[in-house]
Amino acid sequence: MKNAPVKISAAANVALIKYWGKTDLEKNIPAVASLSIGIEDLRTETIISESKDKTDTLVGRFKKYEKKRILNYVSMAKKLLGVSGGLKIETANNFPSSSGLASSASGFAAIALGIDEFFALDLPRKDISRLARLGSGSAARSIYGGFVQMDTGTDPFAAPLKLEDPWLLDILVLVTEEQPKKLSSTDSMNLTKGTSPFYSAWLDTQENDFLRAKDAIIERDFWKLARISEHNCLKMHSTIMTANPPHIYWNPTTVKILHQVQKIQEKGLQVFFTIDAGPQVKLICDPSDTQLILEQFESMHDISKKIVTKVGGEPRIERLT
Ligand code: DP6
């Protein structure tokens, strides 16, 4: 019987406590635990159907190396799950990809969820998360929405942080450059691990950061979460900047935004920043202050796009008939 096509919408996520470094390249095992929030409106939409010519085909705007990475992943995933048949994968992001807005997270999460649904495997979510991790570490977290944690271990998977009531926070994505990044997270992590003198300090202090952030979320303490998230982000970037050769993901606008955030914080507005492997800045805002915070960036014309969204990002799965 022919399987009906499936449509998946998976959201990007941003880590407040970052995953940076691997203990095993092949199994893609993160060296540290991480904690993220799903970004409701930054999404990858992927349709998986049977391919006409029995081979896997990918439809979308991809560079040659990205296409190879995705097709290798699909073939590895099918082998691992013991399923066969050529797949047609149509996928598109509603945000600029490969520029530090976490396209690999939503992209691989959508494919992992899509393969499970297409072949009606009904895998437990933790196994889908593990499958997504094999594509990209951060993708393991995009299997869920909201606050998500990811541990280390021999075959780790992500899990949602159970909160009594959801903590409604806004996310303001400030895009400072839409060009693809020059150094992938994978390559940068390996370089950092091999050459930064700060890498061991990064590993040694991560557990404490992770536990403090978790406490802050449970206590719903905005400023506690702000302090630890900014510190963790800057610590990750310090290891990247002190790799050999060094790498700086930021541009002048990124730095300008950080100074502006500090000024806004002094006014008492509830906002903090985080930056992934790219020049874009994500601001986490208390919804009562979001509008005022946005106004503080009105005159910064070098910000090419401002996306106002919120914590969320539960994946949507649909079988098309
Ligand atoms: C800075 O998940 O893109 O966004 O596993 O090599 O594909 P690979 O790396 P990736 O790295 C994410 C790095 C980060 C931090 C984070 O999301 O935790």
DSSP characters for 91-132?
Answer: EEESS-TTSSS-HHHHHHHHHHHHHHHHTT----HHHHHHHH
Contact predicate 12/40, CB 8 Å? no
The pLDDT value recorded for residue 66 is 87
Ligand 1, atom 4: closest residue by C-alpha: 276
Ligand 1, atom 3: closest residue by C-alpha: 185
The pLDDT value recorded for residue 180 is 74
Rounded to two decimals, what is the model's pTM? 0.96
Pocket test for ligand 1, best of 19, 209, 275 (most atoms within 8 A of CB): 19
pLDDT-flagged residues of the chain (< 70) = 1, 96-102
Distance, CA of 122 to CA of 118 (rounded, Å):
10
Span from the CA of 20 to the centroid of ligand 1 (angstroms): 7
Distance, CA of 68 to CA of 170 (rounded, Å):
35
Ligand 1, atom 8: closest residue by C-alpha: 136
Ligand 1, atom 1: closest residue by C-alpha: 276
Give me 6's structure tokens.
């499936």
Give the count of beta carbons closer than 10 Å to the beta carbon of residue 27: 13
Ligand 1, atom 12: closest residue by C-alpha: 138
Span from the CA of 52 to the centroid of ligand 1 (angstroms): 34
Span from the CA of 137 to the centroid of ligand 1 (angstroms): 6
Helix and strand numbers (H, E) in the chain are: 8, 13
Ligand 1, atom 6: closest residue by C-alpha: 186
The pLDDT value recorded for residue 100 is 55
Contact predicate 33/206, CB 8 Å? yes
Pocket test for ligand 1, best of 32, 69, 138, 239 (most atoms within 8 A of CB): 138
Furthest-apart CA atoms within the chain: distance in Å: 63
Relative to beta strand 6-17, strand 29-30 is unpaired
Angle at 98 between CA 166 and CA 151, to 5 degrees: 45
Given the CA of residue 30, which atom of ligand 1 is nearest to it?
5
Span from the CA of 306 to the centroid of ligand 1 (angstroms): 22
Span from the CA of 190 to the centroid of ligand 1 (angstroms): 12
Strand order in the sheet with 170-175: 271-274, 281-285, 170-175, 305-310
Q: Which residues line ligand 1 (CB under 6 A)?
A: 15, 18-20, 28, 34, 104, 136-138, 185-186, 276-277
Given the CA of residue 28, which atom of ligand 1 is nearest to it?
5
| Cis preceding-peptide flag for 245 (omega within 30 of 0) | yes
Give me 224's structure tokens.
């506690």
Contact predicate 99/180, CB 8 Å? yes
User: Where does the chain show beta strands of DSSP type E?
Assistant: 6-17, 22-24, 29-30, 34-50, 57-59, 87-93, 147-150, 158-160, 170-175, 271-274, 281-285, 305-310, 316-319
The pLDDT value recorded for residue 153 is 95
Given the CA of residue 138, which atom of ligand 1 is nearest to it?
2
